[in-house]
Structure 1
Amino acid sequence: MKARKPIYVARPTLPPLEALLPHLETIWDSRILTNMGEFHQQLEQQIEAYLDAGPVTLTSSGTVALVMALKALEITGEVITTPFSFAATAHAIDWVGCTPVFVDIEANGFNLNPACIERAITDKTRAILAVHCFGVPCNTVEIQRIADKHGLKVIYDAAHAFGVRSSPNVIRHGDCTVFSFHATKLFSTIEGGAVVCHSAATNDCLALLRNFGIVDESTIACAGTNAKLNEICAAIGVLQLAALDQNMARMKAVHMAYQTHLKGVPGLTTLTYPEGVEPNYSYFPILLGPDFRCARDTLHHELKRQNIHSRRYFSPLLSEASPYCDRPACTPFGMPNARRVADNVICLPMYPDLSMEDIVDICSIIKDN
């Protein structure tokens, strides 16, 4: 079966151009292009209301948001994190002069294993940076128990989890939660990110860090950076947020179609969500076991040959990447669960306007390969 056109793992969702033009006219008339202008302030307020989770600090990217969260919490030393994530998770730790310490993920999931976290704590450990991988919330209760026991800060990388609902609200856990609004995300400002925190003092620090540490015309309080979201990206975000629930409903339909067409395939496991979680359906990973008809890489290359661009998220593991693999302090333990998943997982194309015909074609290749 030959794909009729390229099908990518993600396809940016954009607002109608005619809806954006009035916002662009406002920006052109005001000549305010950055520095927390009208649309920047509007988007921050709207995200706060949407998340129902406290103050939001918009940033120019999710990566810089991670760096700012670590800086605002004054994290030094070692930070326990996952090897099964995008590079930004570990890079942010390294950029602030800390050491990422990788520990294994759960045996039956994609998130940090709390038992492995506790084993890795040393007198140098200062924080846990956990990832809500594929939008599935971590075991936040157990992670917080460990953090409280050892006096550690907790940061959640929620790049995959914007719009995920749970009871209690997953955004209310930890000291900071960080989002990415990159173009490939379901909610996108093209480039952008945000930090949500629950401390007024930390929120004030984030605001300073975002704008060079400048308090006023004559006062620079700290060594900050330029992490502001520009007005054009913020205006796009305002429109994207208004359409988010509708797009998530479309993603749910895509998710359910995949589940239907892949049900019962030997050796193939699909993503399931815990009870009480309303997902955003942003990713559709499949895990291939020994009973599947071929190796993961064989399937990946066959899909690509037919113009379907899946992704081996996340391979290689961060613990195997060049910046970290030769640093013994980063990899003090084995990670068999992460290794098994990295060798056998593949993320299928997932976006709101993916057609049912394309879904059937993709699933047919998977079943017939």
Structure 2
Amino acid sequence: MIKVTQAFLPNQSEYQAILKSSWDQHWITNRGPLVLELEAKLLSYLNANQIILTTNGTLPLQVALKVLGGMGEIITTPFSYIATTSAILWENCKPVFVDIHPDYLTIDETKIEAAITNKTKAILVTHVFGNPCDVEAIQAIAHKHNLKVIYDAAHCFGVTYKNESIFNFGDVSTCSFHATKLFHTGEGGALFFSDKALYESLFYSHNFGHNGPHDFSGVGINAKMSELQAAMGLAVLPYMNQILEQRKTIVDFYNNNIDFSKVRTFTIRENAQWNYSYYPIIFKSEADLLKAESVLNKAQIFPRRYFYPSLNTVPFASTQSMPVSEEIAASVLCLPLYAGLTADETKLIVTILNDAL
């Protein structure tokens, strides 16, 4: 069986060696030494400004919305994982969808201003498959209308734009360190931000509102990363160059061997250094996608319809039509891509796919 992705796992003894200090100290949560070490190493590796690690990748969205969203309207993309829209609704905000660009697959920044009202509090958009939004245009719109910007950067570990970490753009960027991601801590995530004035409100919000052992700055939740998760991150991080090299090899093979007369892929934004996080192919129709998917599945190859469906069609968030997002969501399929996928497996995927087109 060839799955769409597979978690990279370091040698188990390496993980256990890192975790030993927590065992010895009986300290496995509440921002122990391993969490602090991982935060410092990630800031250095990513050239990011500030970080708070979290126990998953959805809670950072909720914390950012709680701090910056203010129970108002949030302009967002319909082409993302459900967590993006669910977090908006969970925080008693209203998602206002704006359609996407057909090539970049990120929000169409030229349509954002038309969606702004006097109830708009923030823009929360997704860097899709690691492909950055037009961060400069979005920042200009936000500045003009006095709005906050939150990026769902779940797929963006290691991505840069004009040689700057993508996590340094916007008021807050969130990331997922789920086991299926490029870099992972099993489950996990992070808040990234540049404004030091935001640190206390974000930090307190992710730790029950604690402002010291017996004082509380306000309402908070428990979003802290554990030492068990941090140990996994510390064990995975040294392998990042190897992981990226293997994924690039697979991407290059796909780029050079898929029959692009029948399908297309997306366009990486100019001045962006991509991270080879996903490989989406876009069919001419949903029928063509379903045919190819069926043939691949019969060969025990399991790509994924990602993202599907377009979030503006989900019943609890249903809104006006978003024709580009709906068309892309119906016709996009992510091919298997992970460190450990062999050359023979990659050739098999392409051979079967091309035969099915």
Aligned to 2:64: 69
Q: Verify: 1:340 aligned to 2:327, yes or no.
A: yes
* 2:241 match: secondary structure: helix
Deviations 1:292-337 (A, max 9, x none): 9x61112112211221111111111111112212xxxxx2x43111
Worse-superposed segment, 314-323 or 226-235: 314-323
Q: Give the superposition deviation at 1:119.
A: 1.0
Structure 2 residue aligned with 1:357: 344
CA distance in 1, matches of 2:55, 2:168: 23
Alignment-derived partner of residue 213 in structure 2: 217
Contact 1:311 1:348 in 2 (8 A): yes
Aligned counterpart in structure 2 of residue 84 of structure 1, from 69, 79, 82? 79
Q: How many residues align?
A: 355
- Corresponding residue of 1:175: 171
**Partner SS, residue 141 of structure 2:** helix
Q: Distance in 2 between matches of 1:142 and 1:163?
A: 22
Matched-pair contact (CA < 8 Å) for 1:43–1:237 = yes
2:228 paired residue number:
232
Q: Is the 8 A contact 1:265 1:367 kept in 2?
A: no
Q: Is the 8 A contact 1:73 1:202 kept in 2?
A: no
State how 1:194-213 maps to structure 2 within 5 Å.
194-213=190-209
Deviation by residue 1:91-142 (Cα, 9 ceiling, x = unmatched): 1111111001111001322100012211111111111011000101101111
Residue type of the partner of 2:239? A
Aligned counterpart, 2:279: 284
CA contact (8 A) 2:19 2:227 kept: no
Matched residue, 1:295:
288
Asked whether the equivalents of residues 102 and 328 of structure 2 are also in contact (C-alpha less than 8 Å), the reply is no
Task: Give, as a single letter, the amino acid of the residue that structure 1 aligns with 2:353.
Answer: I
Q: C-alpha offsets along residues 342-362 of structure 1, whole Å, 9 cap, x if unaligned?
A: 111100001011111111111
Give, in whole Å, the separation in 1 of the partners of 2:346 and 2:310: 28
Q: Give the whole-Å Cα distance in 1 for the aligned partners of 2:225 and 2:180.
A: 17
Query: What is the identity, as a one-letter code, of the residue corresponding to 1:137?
Result: P
2:250 pairs with 237, 254, 263, which one? 254
How far apart in 2 are the matches of 1:172 and 1:273? 19
- Residue identity opposite 1:238 in structure 2: L
In the aligned structure 2, how far is the partner of 1:319 from the partner of 1:226? 30
- Could you tell me which residue of structure 2 aligns to residue 125 of structure 1? 120
Tell which deviates more after alignment, 225-234 or 45-54.
45-54
Instruction: For residues 253-277 of structure 1, give each alpha carbon's deviation from its aligned partner in whole angstroms, at most 9, with x where no partner exists.
Output: 1100111111x43221123423332
- Per-residue CA shift, 1:154-192, capped at 9, x if unaligned? 001100111112215222211001000001101000110
Does residue 35 in structure 1 map to residue 33 in structure 2? no
Residue 142 (1) aligns with residue 129 (2): no
Report the counterpart of residue 328 of structure 1 in structure 2. none
Distance in 2, matches of 1:94 and 1:74, equals: 11
Taking a change above 3 Å as real, the CA distance of residues 275 and 74 of structure 1, as seen in their structure-2 partners, is: closer
Give, in whole Å, the separation in 2 of the partners of 1:246 and 1:365.
Answer: 27
> Matches of 2:272 and 2:24 in 1, distance apart?
43
Which residue of the partner structure matches residue 187 of structure 1?
Answer: 183
Contact 2:307 2:329 in 1 (8 A): yes
Q: Which amino acid aligns with 1:197?
A: F
Give the CA deviation at 1:200: 1.5
Shift of 1:74: 4.7
Instruction: Report the 3-state secondary structure (helix = DSSP H, G, I; strand = E; otherwise coil) of the residue aligned with 1:84.
Output: coil
Mind listing any 5+ residue stretches in structure 1 that lack a counterpart? Answer: 1-5, 326-330
Alignment check: 8 A CA contact 1:104 1:112 kept: yes
Equivalence for 1:324: 317
8 Å contact kept, 2:69–2:93: no
Contact 2:171 2:194 in 1 (8 A): yes
Q: Secondary structure at the match of 1:36?
A: coil
What's the offset of the Cα at 1:195?
0.5
Per the normalisation by structure 1, the TM-score is 0.93
Instruction: State the AA in 2 paired with 1:228.
Output: K
Correspondence 1:271 to 2:266: yes
What is residue 155 of structure 1 aligned with on the other side?
150
